[in-house]
Amino acid sequence: GSGGGGASGGSSGADVITMGFSQVGAESGWRTANTKSVQDAAKEAGITLKFSDAQQKQENQIKAIRSYIQQRVDVIAFSPVVESGWDTVLKEAKDANIPVILTDRAVDSPDKSLYKTFLGSDFVEEGKKAGTWLVEEYKDSTDPVNIVELQGTTGSAPANDRRDGFQEVIKADPKFKVIASQTGDFTRAKGKEVMEAFLKANPDIDVLYAHNDDMGLGAIEAIEGAGKVPGQDIKIITVDAVKDGMQALADGKISFIVECSPLLGPQLMDLAKKVVAGEQVPDRVVTEETTFTQEQAKEVLSTRQY
C-alpha cells in the first residue's frame, strides 16, 4: 500500500492497506483490551498495522503521526489523549492526502474536515447513566449525599464528558454534593493515591464516582486500608465494565458500572477500508453500550470477553 502515488494517501486498488495507529498508552484494563481488539482486527482484515504507544503523552502521539505521514501510510487512526491541540498535525496529514480516523476519543478542532470520522462511545451519555443510577439510589432520602470524584486524564474527552454528563443529572437536586474532585489519570495506582487523600480530608464520604474501573479498583484498596467497607460504607460507581471491575461489582465492592466497550477494532478496520477506497462514511459512529448492577454482573461475568 504505502509508497504509491494515488490521490488518497498513496494506495492503489488491490494493494494491502497500511494503517498507522497511535494508541494513548497502556493505562487501564480498557486500554489493553482496546489494543488487542485493534491488533486482532487488523490481522483479520488483512491490514498492515504500524502501532505505537504514546504513554499518555500528546507529544509522543504527534511524533508518531508525523512519522506515519512521512512513511506515507494509507490511513492514520488514533485515540487522542487530550481533546485540544491537534489542528496543526491534522492539517499536515490532510495536506499529505492521508485520511485520519479518530477512534475512542474526540478532538475539539472546529474544522471537521481534518478527519473522516469519529468512532467511539458517547461519554456524556455514560456520565448521565452514572448520575441517573445515583438519583434513583437515593430517591427516598433527603439527607445530603457527599460525593467524591476520581476524574480521568485531565483534558481528555472521557474525563470532560463523564464529568459533565454526571453533573447535568445530579444538579437537579442540591442534596448531591461533589465535595472533592481530582484526576487519577485513569490508572489504578493514581486512583488509590488520590482516594487516600480524599479519605484523610473528608471523614464523611457517601459515594465515589470514578471515571473508570481501574481508578475505582485502586480506590477500593484505599478504602479498605482506611478500615471501611467498599460498596457499603462508600458506594462506588465506575465506567468501563472490564473483567476486574465486573468481578468487584459481583463481589459487592462496586455498586454500579456503566459499560464502555473497548472492542472497536472490527468497526475501525471496516471504516478504514471504506475511507481508503474513497467511499462515504458517517462522520460519527457511536458504540452500543449498557449498564450493570451487582446482580447483572454475577450473571454475565463468566462470558465477559475482556
The residues of the shown chain that bind ligand GYE, judged by CB under 6 A, are: 27-28, 30-31, 104-105, 158, 186, 212, 214, 239-240, 260
Q: Which is nearer to ligand GYE, 223 or 242 (CB)?
A: 242
- C-beta of 108: minimal distance to ligand GYE in Å? 15
Q: Are strands 100-103 and 256-259 parallel, antiparallel or unpaired?
A: unpaired
End-to-end CA distance of the chain, in Å? Answer: 32
Q: Which is nearer to ligand GYE, 74 or 104 (CB)?
A: 104
- C-beta of 164: minimal distance to ligand GYE in Å? 15
Residue that the C-alpha cell 496529514 belongs to = 93
What is the residue-wise DSSP string for 49-64? EEEEE-TT-HHHHHHH
- C-beta of 17: minimal distance to ligand GYE in Å? 25
Q: Pull the grid cell for residue 267.
A: 468497526
CA–CA separation, 83 and 262 (whole Å)? 19
Q: Which is nearer to ligand GYE, 194 or 260 (CB)?
A: 260
- C-beta of 214: minimal distance to ligand GYE in Å? 6
Q: Which is nearer to ligand GYE, 42 or 260 (CB)?
A: 260
How many CB atoms are located within 10 Å of the residue 148 CB? 24
What is the longest distance spanned by two Cα atoms in the chain?
68
| 28, 217 Cβ separation under 8 angstroms | no
Q: Which is nearer to ligand GYE, 104 or 149 (CB)?
A: 104
> Hey, what amino acid is at 205?
I
- C-beta of 79: minimal distance to ligand GYE in Å? 7
Q: Which is nearer to ligand GYE, 48 or 182 (CB)?
A: 182
How many CB atoms are located within 10 Å of the residue 291 CB? 17
Q: Pull the grid cell for residue 23.
A: 494508541
- C-beta of 174: minimal distance to ligand GYE in Å? 29
